[in-house]
Structure 1
Amino acid sequence: MIRATIIALLSHWRRHPVQLVTLLAGLALATGLWSAVQAINAEARASYQQAAAQLGGVALPELKAQSGAITLAQYVTLRRGGWQVAPVLEGRTRLGDSWVTVMGIDPLSHPGLPALSQGNEAAQITGFSGLLARPELAKALAQVPGLPTVTGSDLLPPGVVLGDISVVETLLDRRGQISRLLILPEQPMGRPPLADLVPGLVQSTPDRAADTARLTNSFFLNLTAFGLLSFAVGLFIVHGTVGLAFERRRPVLRTLRALGVPLRLLGALLLGELLLLALIAGAVGLVLGHEVLAL
């Protein structure tokens, strides 16, 4: 009886293959998109954390201007006064079709450059001519005319271009300006007070982890929302297909009940059928998600 009942139930899918394909495709796409988004989210978090560690390292005290930018003359005054500081120029600009954050540093003094030099990428900016960016961004920027050579580096966060400050000030059209000065750990004894050298600067110690979290939380939230939306759309497709299949199988179910098939057995077989289809579609979806991630 069980075998005959299973054959009778499965005959519906043989007569309506489009419904079967729709059910499997909907669930597979929902699972694939959800798993791909979660994997992308995890990789993005790891990438941001690594990049923050490489570029920021330990949160160093900073000097910023009370209004506007730090001038080159103020930087020179601090250096001549014995202050060991590293200049950073940062800003948003459009390069080709992409809006990016461009960061200019002094390769000879910036504390994060030794970490970048684990590969050979740092040579591109220590040569005072090149830029660094994520490989996919570097490939896109290679088509932009007039840009210096852009080298790919996995040590940078997405959307960030790093270069020598002399190159970056030209890209941002901010010549002679500095966004902030990093106060290096090793300082000489007896250096003049900051207020005596450059009264217009203030010292602060930023929370790099909090800054990174604020910048990236919205990005991760959007990715998660996209994954949930994709999964919900797939479930709606599956719900509609399963509901239609049950409606069309009502005559078969009534006939099986009239032939003496127990209601509990019918319910168990239908549940087993759904679980089997879900496992098949879920496995296909995970494979699709892996392929999407590999693109």
Structure 2
Amino acid sequence: MASVGGDAKKSLTQWLREKGFDEEAIGRMSKRCRNLPNLDAGEASGVWDYLLNDVKIEQRKLRYVVTKCPKVLTMSVNDKLVPTVQCLTTLQAKPGEIAQAIVKFPPILFHSVEEKLCPLLAFFQTLAISEKQLAKLLMVNPRLISYSIQAKFSQTVDFLVGLGINREVMIGKILTKEPYIMGYSIDKRLRPTAEFLKSAVGLQGSYLQRVIMNFPSILSRDVDKTLRPNLVFLQSAGFSKDQIMKLVAGYPPVLKQMNSRCSLSEMLDCNQKKFAMKFGLIPVA
């Protein structure tokens, strides 16, 4: 049990200083985790050593994890950390990948991974995503573990199906290609972007489906910040709406005369300056 005496507080503070945390960082961490000042340095040291030596998180990155999520120091190594890491390992995730996932999303350690994984695996199997692919998805975007199947995953899948994407064949491929798509709001990002592609760009039916299947991250692009400015830029360069629609849909290489091999879908992913440079409309500095 953690001690609450003054010596314990001093001991923990001193221990944090020895690990490279300055007074400002320690103050912020104490505000984020109210139980931190009452934690015994020995308990914190056990967590630190496990993540450093067993999980193989680099010391510099471990400081980042603890600064961002100091609650991790209060966790039980044997009762919580070890089972969580072992559960991730059973998904064929390598130690280095687990370390990277924790650094990306430290709260992955707080979720009941075992209870979450079985329902997640069952759900993703309906989309033809294997256990190994699920492990890859979690390692790339560990935040997925925090999402609700009903409130998040199912609704996103239904949205894609509504665009004409085949559930059993293509949705799994889209998610493995772009695992971050699950994190975006349907109403605030995915649907407005899809509507923009249909109305402003002219993509309909199989054209829209082909773009989404080949370049799914386009759905996560902000219409006003990225897509609309680039569309206006193309229009000002003399492209007609029909030409732009065909280019975005993946017709033959753009601007053969400029030796460009990039599809317009890829170019729409750029900000306007990079877009113009990549498209060959202004010289590269």
Q: Would you say same fold, with TM above 0.5?
A: no
- Structure with greater proportional helix content: 2
User: What range is the shorter-chain TM-score in?
Assistant: under 0.3
